[in-house]
Amino acid sequence: MTELPDFCRLDRRKRAIIDAARSLFAEQGYERTTLKDIVDRAGGSLATVYKVFGNKDGLLEEVVFEKAASADVMIQQAFAQGGSPSEVLHRVGDGLRTHFLDPEVVALVRIVISRSVEDVDFARSFYERTAQRDHASLKTLFEHWQASGIPMIGTPDMLSDMFLDMFFSDVHTDAISHGAGLDHSRERLRDRIDFFIRGAGLSDQPLDKGGTPEMKSPANSR
Amino acid sequence: MTELPDFCRLDRRKRAIIDAARSLFAEQGYERTTLKDIVDRAGGSLATVYKVFGNKDGLLEEVVFEKAASADVMIQQAFAQGGSPSEVLHRVGDGLRTHFLDPEVVALVRIVISRSVEDVDFARSFYERTAQRDHASLKTLFEHWQASGIPMIGTPDMLSDMFLDMFFSDVHTDAISHGAGLDHSRERLRDRIDFFIRGAGLSDQPLDKGGTPEMKSPANSR
DNA sequence: GCGAAGGTGTAATAGGCATTACACCCTTGC
DNA sequence: GCAAGGGTGTAATGCCTATTACACCTTCGC
């Protein structure tokens, strides 16, 4: 029963291979990266790659699904911290921005998209574990607010869609233009989320009825 | 001087090859499509492909940039037809929806994204001729309205960005999920554009002060 | 009909890379 | 120390496909 040592050793190998593969895939794309490249960077041996992952596709799956975490936990937390819809949405937006700003995430999205032709199931599975899950989490938020009597225009489903669109479109643009066309500043994000909040009819409903009904400042036209 | 006949003949060949290549690239992706596939479908000969396009990459460029038309003309027309911002934007939205619903457009976007790693210039050039041009056209619209005294919240630049995001994000989702996750109905589009109009503070400013100020039907909360 | 310009078809070249096979070395538990 | 099992390194296999070369056939103006 020499399980533990073997496991550890193999495990270290596995880690090194996955890390090397992820960075190489991100740099060069999947097709252009040869297994030799990966072995050269990770150390170890080609034979090990086949022993652990079966083949190149198997390795890709491990790499992608390890990194393809949904942001749902972050969304729950942002909600749990409390505050008005506006405050929560700004927090969520910050979290999503950080997540999608990661160049490795963009690179993986590129790979998934290019493989989505040959392997629809793979891509769809990625979609379900990321975008669809984010959507569901966000939808829950709007449902909560709706249930607690906060007025909004549009269904939770539609609002969640629109909110995420702001981020997917940025990832999309980044994937094509390699960041040439995009300003990822915090100010831009703030403006966009404020825009969303107006569209959703969520402009601060003062739960405390102390303040004025939100005098729209003309400062928005930057 | 036998220019015309030669030209015509070559031209017919060229057309057939581009058409075959475009449909095959859309079906299978660029890497998976061999020049043999293309010649088999187009008829003619491999040698002709090399004579006309130089190599496989040259063929791809022709295919992509022929199809990658900007929607700017459509945007100008939608504006020229007149009407309130709301009316114009709904028209533009319809046009963009039609454009981006074309599966071949989505397929080409997939290809451009996957090649954007190895050939940044190619992808960027695509971006400039499509998204960036659409953005510029749309921005002009908002500038016109702004100049003519119609109040709006946000800069023309930002508004144009936000408007296009609704479509880019759909293309992005389609590219990954192959349409599994998306409803492209006209109703959804209408709701989204109404959302945008609220966010932009453009909710019908009656230029003609005859009618009622556009009674917003509560049908929005579908 | 004829000759030439230009397409066509096919076979050869060449290189790349996933995948497999195999002999060697090193760690590990006794 | 030592035997065994599991990693390692490398070479071989095999397939695929871009690209080239070349001999043949069509078309078109005359």
Residues A189 and A98 in one domain: yes
222 residues of chain B, pLDDT tens digit each: 333 344 466 777 888 899 999 999 999 999 889 999 999 998 888 999 998 999 999 999 999 998 888 788 999 999 999 999 999 999 999 999 999 989 999 999 999 999 998 889 999 999 999 999 999 999 999 999 999 999 999 999 999 999 999 999 999 999 999 988 688 899 999 999 999 999 999 986 544 443 334 444 444 433
Contact A162, A198 (CB under 8 A): no
Residues A124 and A95 in one domain: yes
Chain B residue at shortest CA distance from A125? B177
Which is nearest to B51 in space by CA: B11, B1, B21?
A: B11
Residue B204: predicted pLDDT: 64
Task: Please judge whether A180 and B110 are an interchain contact, meaning their C-beta atoms are less than 8 angstroms apart.
Answer: no
Residues A174 and A115 in one domain: yes
A218 in any annotated domain: no
Residues B72 and B181 in one domain: yes
Residue A204: predicted pLDDT: 65
> What CATH number does residue A163 fall under?
1.10.357.10
Provide the residue range defining the domain that includes B18. 10-66
Sequence-ordered list of residues with C-beta below 8 angstroms from that of B83, at least 6 positions apart, any chain: B91
User: How many other β-carbons are positioned within 10 Å of the β-carbon of residue B86?
Assistant: 18
Which is nearest to B104 in space by CA: B200, B8, B175, B177?
A: B175
User: Computed from CA positions of residues B32, B36, B37, B38, in that sequence, does the dihedral angle turn out positive or negative?
Assistant: positive
Choose among A113, A124, A198: nearest Cβ to B199. Answer: A198
Dmax over CA atoms of chain A, in Å, equals 73
Token pair 């749309």 is found at: B138
Contact B164, B138 (CB under 8 A): yes
Sequence-ordered list of residues with C-beta below 8 angstroms from that of B41, at least 6 positions apart, any chain: B20, B23, B24
Residues A38 and A87 in one domain: no
A211 in any annotated domain: no
Residues A124 and A172 in one domain: yes
Task: Please judge whether B131 and A173 are an interchain contact, meaning their C-beta atoms are less than 8 angstroms apart.
Answer: yes
Residues A49 and A97 in one domain: no
Contact B167, A171 (CB under 8 A): no
Residue A197: how many CA atoms within 13 Å on its side-chain side?
22
Residues B55 and B164 in one domain: no
Report the number of distinct structural domains present in chain B: 2
Of all nucleotides in the shown strands, which has a C1' nearest the CA of B32? D17
Which is nearest to B47 in space by CA: B63, B61, B36, B31?
A: B36
Task: Please judge whether B169 and A172 are an interchain contact, meaning their C-beta atoms are less than 8 angstroms apart.
Answer: yes
Q: What is the pLDDT of residues A130-161, one digit of tens each?
A: 999 999 999 999 999 999 999 999 999 999 99
- Cβ of A31 less than 7 A from strand D: no
pLDDT grade, residue A185 (50/70/90)?
very high
Q: Report chain A residues whose CB lies below 8 A from the CB of B170.
A: 165
Residues B97 and B73 in one domain: yes
Residues B104 and B183 in one domain: yes
Choose among B123, B169, B181: nearest Cβ to A165. Answer: B169
Q: What is the pLDDT of residues A85-130, one digit of tens each?
A: 999 999 999 999 999 989 999 999 999 999 998 889 999 999 999 9
Residues B110 and B134 in one domain: yes
